[in-house]
């Protein structure tokens, strides 16, 4: 168990006093495991007491190049010296928009936001504006940020009949519930039936092409593309996590299905507050101020949208990712870790299902296939909590739900993590 210095204890007390729940609303540990991050470099982070962790959270995805990557840091310092924000369109945002369009198959134009939440929210609004219809279909268990619309049926408690939605938390107007239709991920038949029944009121379908850690079944994304295109419904891929991770061109390149629009974030901002909505020009034209007097115009103003410092970080990050071998190393790191997890569970008769892809994955403790949110509920969540705690106690940091490999995790990091698996897994069934 990591030791805490008096200084970190004092800071933890202040966190408890000044932050609701003592945290930022993101990752939270029980009191005895709580710590405050002081710094990160490469694939490691240190807490205020100086304890070192191998980091498999990596900022919840953005830090594919590792913490404080020298090229990104240098680009940021240069950009900061040229001024932090202008509101007027800036040079770096234009250059990053050009790179995003080159990289992402569905992209012809770009609207920057400062969070993935906002990019997904804008995608849904743009779909409504373009189609002149009000409803959006999302998938049960899918996460698209914290807007009222996105917060429908993310982790529903009850088993509503599809397509009824359930608000995930308090403070969401009842009316929103009627505007969101819910379908089961990886179930093309049920989803198609819902779309067919509601096509004249559906503006868009939003989907994480790899939902949380659940990979799409062969034909699922292609089928969605066909049925949405048949009824003139916008298909939106939420690629906040998958863009520049599954491949340079994201899930749409990796799975070879191109949506009408997509949200991107995390990696493309290099660890700074940046995200974007990308899409075909016909959809993105709803943002064009020259159409201000039309019924389809969408105003999208944001003080920090396309912030030049964040765009500089994004440009530097993408330049690194275009280097030969970047994605090979990412997949090698993830592939080794996945194989070790499954092998060690099998050796100890611990029921396990590996989900996801080498670039993003996790296991479920269950002996049957996990294809959608309802399947995940059948897995042993207590075992998972004990597993993650056991890893943390051994200096291995991961979130509740995902491993985020990076291109800077070393073979020593892998060895240390696999050693922790060897120590924790045998005791999990007790």
Ligand X SMILES: Cc1ncc(COP(=O)(O)O)c(C=O)c1O
Active site residues: 143, 238, 266
Name the phi and psi angles at 143, rounded to 5: -115, 125
Of 4, 92, 111, 144, which lies in the binding site for ligand X, with binding defined by CB under 6 A? 144
Q: Which of 209, 210, 212, 213 is nearest to 236 (CA)?
A: 209
Helix/strand/coil (H, E, C) string of 57-93?
Answer: CHHHCCCCCCECCHHHHHHHHHHHHCCCCCCCCCHHH
Judged by beta carbon, residue 154 or residue 379, the one nearer ligand X is 154
Longest distance between any two alpha carbons in the chain, whole Å? 67
Site string for ligand X, 181-220 (x = CB under 6 A): ---------------------------x------------
Contact between 358 and ligand X by CB under 6 A: the answer reads: no
Alpha carbon distance 111, 93 (integer Å): 10
Q: Tell me the closest approach of the beta carbon of residue 120 to ligand X, in angstroms.
A: 5
State in angstroms the smallest separation of the CB of 145 from ligand X: 4
Return the range that interacts with ligand X (CB under 6 A); candidates 112-120, 181-189, 217-225, 322-330: 112-120
Is 405 among the residues that bind ligand X (CB under 6 A)?
no
266 to 285, contacts with ligand X by CB under 6 A?
A: 275
State which residue has the least CB distance to ligand X.
Answer: 116
**What residues contact residue 190 under an 8 Å CB cut-off, 6+ apart?**
162, 183, 184
Sign for the CA dihedral angle at 268, 269, 271, 273 comes to negative
Interface with ligand X by CB under 6 A: which range of 111-119, 163-171, 225-233, 352-360? 111-119
Residue 166 CB, shortest distance to ligand X, in Å, is 19
Asked if 117 touches ligand X (CB under 6 A), the answer is yes
Stretch in the footprint of ligand X (CB under 6 A) among 142-150, 169-177, 311-319, 384-392 = 142-150
Work out whether 60 is an interface residue with ligand X (CB under 6 A).
yes
Rank residues 131 and 144 by Cβ distance to ligand X and give the closer one: 144
Q: How many of the other CB atoms lie within 10 Å of CB of 251?
A: 27
For helices 381-393 and 411-424, what crossing angle results, to 10°? Answer: 130
* 245 belongs to the binding site for ligand X (CB under 6 A): no
For ligand X, which is the closer residue by CB, 8 or 118?
118
Window contacting ligand X (CB under 6 A); options: 66-74, 102-110, 114-122, 343-351: 114-122
Among 90, 115, 147, 151, binds ligand X (CB under 6 A): 115
Closest contact distance (angstroms) between CB of 311 and ligand X is 16
The residues facing 39 across adjacent strands are: 46
Among 56, 139, 143, 373, binds ligand X (CB under 6 A): 143
CB of residue 266 vs ligand X: minimum separation in angstroms? Answer: 7
The answer to the question of residue 238 lying near ligand X (CB under 6 A) is yes
Q: Is the dihedral of CA 335, 339, 342, 345 positive or negative?
A: negative
Site of interaction with ligand X (CB under 6 A)? 60, 115-117, 120, 143-145, 208, 238, 240-241, 265, 275
């Amino acid at each position: 168990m990591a030791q805490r210095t008096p200084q970190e204890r004092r800071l933890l007390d202040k966190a408890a006093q000044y932050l609701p729940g003592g945290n930022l609303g993101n990752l939270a540990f029980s009191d005895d495991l709580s710590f405050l991050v002081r710094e990160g470099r490469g694939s490691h982070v240190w807490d205020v007491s100086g304890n070192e962790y191998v980091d498999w959270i990596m900022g919840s995805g953005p830090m594919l190049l590792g913490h404080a990557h020298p090229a990104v840091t240098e680009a940021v310092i240069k950009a900061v010296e040229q001024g932090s924000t202008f509101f007027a369109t800036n040079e770096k945002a234009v250059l990053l928009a050009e790179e995003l369009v080159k990289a992402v198959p569905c992209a012809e134009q770009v609207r920057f936001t400062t969070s993935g939440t906002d990019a997904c929210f804008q995608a849904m609004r743009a779909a409504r504006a373009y189609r002149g219809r009000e409803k959006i279909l999302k998938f049960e268990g899918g996460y698209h940020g914290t807007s009222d619309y996105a917060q429908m049926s993310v982790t529903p408690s009850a088993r509503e009949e599809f397509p009824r939605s359930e608000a995930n938390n308090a403070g969401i107007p009842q009316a929103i519930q009627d505007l969101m239709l819910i379908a089961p991920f990886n179930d093309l038949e049920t989803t198609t039936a819902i779309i067919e029944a509601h096509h004249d009121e559906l503006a868009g379908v939003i989907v994480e092409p790899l939902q949380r850690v659940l990979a799409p079944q062969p034909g699922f994304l292609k089928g969605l593309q066909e049925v949405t295109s048949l009824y003139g419904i916008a298909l939106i891929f939420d690629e906040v996590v998958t863009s520049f991770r599954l491949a340079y061109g994201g899930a749409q390149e990796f799975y070879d299905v191109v949506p009408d629009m997509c949200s991107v974030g995390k990696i493309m901002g290099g660890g700074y507050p940046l995200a974007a909505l990308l899409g075909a020009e016909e959809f993105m034209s709803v943002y064009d101020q020259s159409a201000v007097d039309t019924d389809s115009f969408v105003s999208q103003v944001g003080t920090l949208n396309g912030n030049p410092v964040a765009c500089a970080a994004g440009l530097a990050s993408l330049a690194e990712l275009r280097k030969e071998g970047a994605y090979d190393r990412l997949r090698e790191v993830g592939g080794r870790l996945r194989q070790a997890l499954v092998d060690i569970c099998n050796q100890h008769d611990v029921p396990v299902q590996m989900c996801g892809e080498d670039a993003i994955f996790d296991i479920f403790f269950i002996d049957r296939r996990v294809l959608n949110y309802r399947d995940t509920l059948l897995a042993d969540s207590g075992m998972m909590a004990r597993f993650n705690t056991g890893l943390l106690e051994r200096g291995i940091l991961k979130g509740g739900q995902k491993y985020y490999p990076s291109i800077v995790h070393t073979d020593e990091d892998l060895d240390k993590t696999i050693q922790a698996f060897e120590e924790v897994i045998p005791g999990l069934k007790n």
